[in-house]
Structure 1
Amino acid sequence: MNDLADRFFAAVRAGDTAALTALYDPDARIWHNDDGREQTVEENLRVLRWLARTVNDLRYEEIRRHPLADGFAQQHVLRATLPGHGPLEVPASLFVRIADGRITRIDEYADSAATAVLRAAGPR
């Protein structure tokens, strides 16, 4: 579980969609509290590609990870620099479900006030 989690967050930081594709179950769904809808894997990869191209020095800090029976929960602060805006600091929690070594679902809760600038600029 920790290895998969480490590989997942490293792939997000690197914008490595090939690695992310390998980690996701093809039918996985990703839900975000800021819009209340589920994304397909391809929709999520499009957002993550955009994020990797748009922000600088993306990193996860203050990580607290907790094993769950079917995956893990992680609390963290995503930090980056958004050109033309400055530093970003987004407290977030993810609940990640895993089956057969692949991510089947993510429920992400991020501080919507902190992500407002990203939503305004983003591909959603």
Structure 2
Amino acid sequence: MGHDLGATVDASLRLLETRDLESFRKLCAPDATVWQNDGIGVRTIDARVEHIATFLAALDSLRFEVVRRFDKPGEVLQQHILHLVAKDGTESRVHASVYFRFEDGLIAEVEEYLYEV
């Protein structure tokens, strides 16, 4: 039986918006990895979730706007904009291209290319 990978990606974004990192983590394989264009290299999903928690603590709100998405079996590539509002009210946007690779319906690998505007 196939998995609706786009729906899983959408669910993961909604969970991040609502700061439900525990439920977000359950959408990921136990040994999932994340690479980001920040120069650090590949991290475990757990290390990335810790980083996300710190990031979210500085925000009043986060909203993802999906611009486009391409699906093929086991993979999703999407472009989105993160709309951020910091605790001090400052608004900013981050443009991102994100690749998701799935195994057994769970996110197994993420590659994030971010550009802050």
TM-score range normalised by the length of the shorter chain? 0.7 to 0.9
Distance in 2, Cα, partners of 1:110 & 1:29: 17
1:109 counterpart (74, 92, 113): 113
Write out the 4+ residue segments of structure 1 that deviate beyond 3 Å after TM superposition.
none
1:67 counterpart (71, 93, 102): 71
Equivalent pair of 1:14/1:52 in contact (CA under 8 Å): no
How many residues in Structure 1 have an aligned counterpart in Structure 2? 113
Percentage of identical aligned residues = 25
Q: Deviations over 1:72-91 (max 9, x none)?
A: 01101101112347111111
Q: TM-score, normalised by structure 2?
A: 0.88
Question: 1:48: how far off?
Answer: 1.5
Equivalent residue of 1:10, what SS?
helix
Write the letter of the residue equivalent to 2:57: R
Equivalent residue of 2:95, what SS?
strand
The answer to which structure has the higher strand fraction is: 2
- Gapped regions of structure 1 (runs ≥ 5): 116-124
Distance in 1, Cα, partners of 2:66 & 2:104: 28
- Gapped regions of structure 2 (runs ≥ 5): none
